[in-house]
Every structure is written in structure tokens, then in C-alpha cells.
Amino acid sequence: MSIEADPTLVEGLDAWRSMAARQQPSWPDAEALADVSQRLGAMPPLVFAGEADVLTARLAAAGRGEAFLLQGGDCAETFAEATADNIRNKVKTILQMAVVLTYGASLPVIKMGRMAGQYAKPRSSDDETRDGVTLPAYRGDAVNAHAFTPGSRVPDPERLLEAYHRSSATLNLIRAFTTGGFADLRRVHEWNRGFLANKAYARYEETAGEIDRAIRFMAACGADFDALRTVEFFSSHEALLLDYERPLTRIDSRTGAAYDCSAHFLWIGERTRQLDGAHVDFLSRVRNPVGVKLGPSTSADDALALMDKLNPSDVPGRLTFITRMGAGRIRDALPPLLEKVTASGRPVTWVCDPMHGNTITSASGYKTRRLEDVLDEVRGFFESHRGVGSVPGGLHVELTGDDVTEVLGGSEEIDDAGLARRYETLVDPRLNHQQSLEMAFQVADMIRRP
Ligand SMILES: O=C[C@H](O)[C@H](O)COP(=O)(O)O
Ligand SMILES: C=C(OP(=O)(O)O)C(=O)O
């Protein structure tokens, strides 16, 4: 049965309320939460169901090896940083990476931001202790504030509304950039401006020069370039806070199916992917394309059971598995999953998140990652897929368009002492602009050279 034809899916949209939901805030005031839910439910949707369907078709192509997904953005967006400059720099970085990948690998690249809604974080511990004082952990700006004071850390449902408004403003600007001419491929050089000149920047200029020449050649041949003016760009975030996702879920007037209209693509995190849990149940009932993070402890049977629950009709592009095994584990942990899922003959789009399995604490105490581990996990991802004959369909990265110093290594050779220079993330370390471009060049090579 196709997902829109099953009325029990829509009828059960609130079934998650009686299931175990991990990583939810302890909202102190149930009435205030109910009031916010009602107000969120009255807000316009942030995306249109038809856009989510287009993305499903694009992800199906990535699952067949006919496209490649590039999903990137902050670990945790913050309200304070939802500024024009930050949004523009992130969009530019993703567009630049996409150009490098498209040109280098001759594959269409699906561009998706971890943007316009990535305001909630699952945490390893419910508390944080500093100098003997213990407070509730920061769970993202949609829940509480980062400042280490008792008042800041109390979950406040009004923040869900603020997350909605910031997401709306961010998405509006992304749409303006990507449809208003800013993302026109003929401006490929412009996207480099404003970043620090560096090795990756120079290599990008070379690629941009080659693209320019190709465009001038095609123009001289009389090609029509209207299609270059706009770019499809999709939004995504972890569907962690069900008190946010549920009120933004709407019934599509065309099909009668439910869509979570907080973003085009939603994923379930490694910590909340229990088969009988609230998150899996809720996302099984919406028709957006959805993802699930799979860590190194995932068994092939877990993966198959998630497919049964989240994509029972085997719709290509509906389900993406985002593997995050760690560089040291991927070559052992991924192939058994790929073998069994591939043998089932059922459609899944496989994406590599090389960030979340490679987090370390540096000698000076920073939560960081090594760029070499991150790249090694991507290499392991390609090797595993090539060994099994399955399709490496995309990349999921935590990045920023700014010149932060949060990840070790890269051609700038950021070392432990260098981390302090500009360490700004509130949760996990992100690749900076240069490291993101370096990664794109290397991944283009990996796609090109089987
Ligand atoms: O981004 C992912 C998680 O939210 C994050 O890695 C958890 O970090 P913690 O272990 O500091 O809670
Ligand atoms: C929490 C995240 O990842 P994971 O669920 O893989 O740990 C994340 O992507 O922000």
C-alpha cells in the first residue's frame, strides 16, 4: 500500500505520545507547552509537500548512483547566528562544494542545508558540571540557552516558536539566494570572495576558471542558460523535538497524506532510532523523505527492520541511511549492513556522515575532530560500497562558512594550540570554509576513481 493511501498512518499521528521518546526536554510547564503547540499549529508551513516529493525523487536518483547528496551545515544553529552574513557564507560554501563535486565527478549534486531548523541537540548526559556546579545540559536554542546559569538552562517552550521564526527567516533568505540570481553558475567566482585566500581557495579558482571557459564555449554555441540561474536547495534537521515536529505536520490537500512541513528532509538520530520508540513511529507516518543515522553498533537486522517500519512500500528515495561509524570502525561495521540490505533488493540511499564517529577531546580539552579521520571515514565508505557493489549516495557534514578553528588539520594545519584561536561551536566541531573545500576536492576524486 502506498503511504498516502493508508488513513491509519494519519490517524496515528499522535501515537508517539504513548511511546518512549528519548532526549526530550523536561518542559516545566505543561500548559505553556500546550499553548505553544496550539500557536505553532496555526503557523503557515515552512515547506510545501510537493517540494518534499521532488526531493524524494532526487534522493532516489542518488540511491541509484545518478546523483550525489551534499548535506551540510552547523552542528547546532543558534538564534544569534541566524544573520544574513552567516547564512550567505554557509550557502556559498555549500554551493562551492557542490560545484567542485559536480565538475570533478560529473554527477548532479543535490544541495541540502543542515539549516533552517537545526536548533535541537541530543546530548550524552542530561547534566553539565562546571567547577562543582551541575546544571541541565544545553539542548539547543529551541530548548534552552547556552549560558551556564540556572535560569538559562530551564527549557522554555516559547523557544520553539522562536525556532520556527528563525527557520522561516533563514529559509526565506536561502530561497532568495538560490532563486534570485545569487546562485547562478555564471557567478561561480563570486562565491569565493570574502573568504581568506588560501590553498583550497586557489584550487577552487582554477576549477571556476575551467567552468567559466566551458560556459563561454557553450554560450558561443548558442546554448540557453536559463537553467543556470536558479538552484534547488533543500532544508533539513534532526526531527528530535516531537513537540515541534507534530504541530508543523500538515495534511496535504492533494493526497491526504501527512507531511512534516518544518523541513524538506528530517532525520532520526543515532540516539533516538529505537524501533518501538516515538521518533521512528512519528516519522513512519509522514511522507517526507526521511533519514536515520546508523552508528557502529547497528546490525543488519536493525537496518532491515527500520526499512520495514519507515518504508514498507519500498518507495525509492523515501529512506536514507546516514552511516556514522568512525574511521576506525567503518571498514568492519559497514559491509555487513550493505551486504544484507543490498541482498534484500529494496531501495535505500546510503549517505556518509564522517563527523559523529570521529569526535575526540584534544589534549587542551577541546571537543574536536581530525580532518584526516573525517576523510578516512569517507574513503572507507567508498571502499565498503565498492566492495559490496552498493551505491555511495552522499555526504553529510557539519560545516560553517566561516574561518573557525574547531577541527584539527587541513592545509592550514590547525593544531591543538590553534583550536583556541576561533573555537565558536556550542556543541560539536565544524569544518571551516577551507577544510570544507579541501574535503570536496578529495571526495570528487573518490567519486571519480572507482
Ligand atoms: O551532535 C551530536 C550530539 O548532539 C553531540 O555529539 C552530543 O554531544 P555530547 O556528547 O557533548 O552531549
Ligand atoms: C546528533 C547528531 O548525530 P548522531 O545522531 O549521528 O549522533 C547530529 O547529526 O547532530
pLDDT, tens only, 27-40: 999 999 999 999 99
Residues with CB under 6 A from ligand 1: 75, 121-124, 356, 427-428
pLDDT at 130 over 60: yes
Q: Is residue 73 part of a domain?
A: yes
> In the structure grid, which three cell numbers stand for residue 207, read together?
576549477
Q: Residue ranges of the alpha helices (H) in 145-232?
A: 158-179, 199-220
How much of the chain, in percent, has pLDDT values that exceed 90?
85
Burial 231-241 (b: 16+ CB within 10 A, else e): bbbbbbbbbbb
Number of structural domains (the chain) is: 1
Our answer on whether the CB atom of 356 is closer than 6 Å to any ligand 2 atom is: yes
Integer CA distances (angstroms), 92 to 103, 185, 225, 237, 403, in order: 16, 12, 20, 19, 13
Residue 221 pLDDT level (bands cut at 50, 70, 90): confident
Q: State the average pLDDT over residues 149-162.
A: 98
Nearest CA to ligand 2 atom 5: 269
Q: d(Cα 376, Cα 355) in Å, to the nearest integer?
A: 11
Can you give the pLDDT at residue 191?
Answer: 83
Closest atom of ligand 1 to CA, residue 76: 1
For residues 356-364, average pLDDT = 97
Q: What DSSP line would sit under 39-89, residue for residue? A: HHHTSPPSS-HHHHHHHHHHHHHHHTTSSEEEEEE-SS--STT-SHHHHHH
φ and ψ of 268, to 5 deg: -105, 135
Distance 292 CA to ligand 2 centre (A): 10
pLDDT surpassing 60 at residue 235: yes
Residue 146 lies in a domain: no
User: Would you state the cell numbers that stand for residue 153, as one nine-digit string?
Assistant: 538552562
Q: What is the pLDDT of residue 6?
A: 80
User: How far is residue 120's CA from residue 240's CA, in Å, rounded to a whole number?
Assistant: 7
Average pLDDT on 404-421 reads 94
| Grid coordinates given for 265 | 528532509
Single-letter amino acid, residue 222: G
In the reported structure, the alpha carbon of residue 354 is separated from the centroid of ligand 2 by a whole-number distance in angstroms of: 11
Q: What is the mean pLDDT of residues 290-317?
A: 98
Nearest CA to ligand 2 atom 2: 269
Strand, helix or coil for residue 401: coil
- When pLDDT is cut at 50, 70 and 90, the band that residue 207 belongs to is confident
Whether pLDDT at 193 is above 80: no
Looking at residues 39-62, what average pLDDT do you find? 98
Mean pLDDT of the chain: 95
- Alpha carbon distances (Å) from 50 to 25, 258, 259, 265, 279: 32, 12, 10, 12, 23
**pLDDT > 70 in the chain, percent:** 99
H/E segment holding residue 249: strand 249-251
Regarding the beta carbon of 398 and ligand 2, being less than 6 Å apart is answered no
Decide: 152 and 196 in contact? Cβ < 8 Å: no
**Residue 1: per-residue pLDDT:** 40
Q: Distance between CA 386 and CA 128 in Å, rounded?
A: 42
Predicted local distance difference test score (pLDDT) of residue 192: 79
Closest to 61 in 3D by CA, of 262, 439, 320, 291: 320
The number of the ligand 1 atom at minimal distance from the alpha carbon of 367 is 11
What pTM was estimated for this model as a whole?
Answer: 0.96
Residue 137 inside a domain? The answer is no
Please report whether residue 52 resides in a domain.
yes
The answer to whether residue 134 is domain-embedded is: no
The alpha carbon of 138 and the centre of ligand 1 are apart by a number of angstroms equal to 10
How far apart are the CA of 430 and the centre of ligand 1, in A?
A: 13
Task: Tell me the mean pLDDT in the region 335-347.
Answer: 98
- CA 21/CA 277 separation, integer angstroms: 6
Residues 328-340: tens digit of each pLDDT? 999 999 999 999 9
Residue 96 falls within a domain, yes or no? yes
pLDDT attached to residue 204: 86
- In contact, 228 and 183? CB cutoff 8 Å: no
For the chain, the C-alpha Rg in angstroms (whole number) is: 21
In a domain, 61, yes or no: yes
Q: Tell me, what CATH number does 394's domain have? A: 3.20.20.70
Q: In angstroms, what CA-CA distances link 335 with 273, 323, 352, 383, 393?
A: 20, 11, 13, 9, 15
Range of the domain at 443: 3-123+157-448
Q: Using 50, 70 and 90 to split pLDDT, how confident is the model at 450? A: low
- Domain assignment of residue 290, yes or no: yes
The whole-number pLDDT of residue 3 equals 47
Q: If you measure from the C-alpha of residue 270 to the centroid of ligand 2, how many angstroms do you get, rounded to a whole number?
A: 6
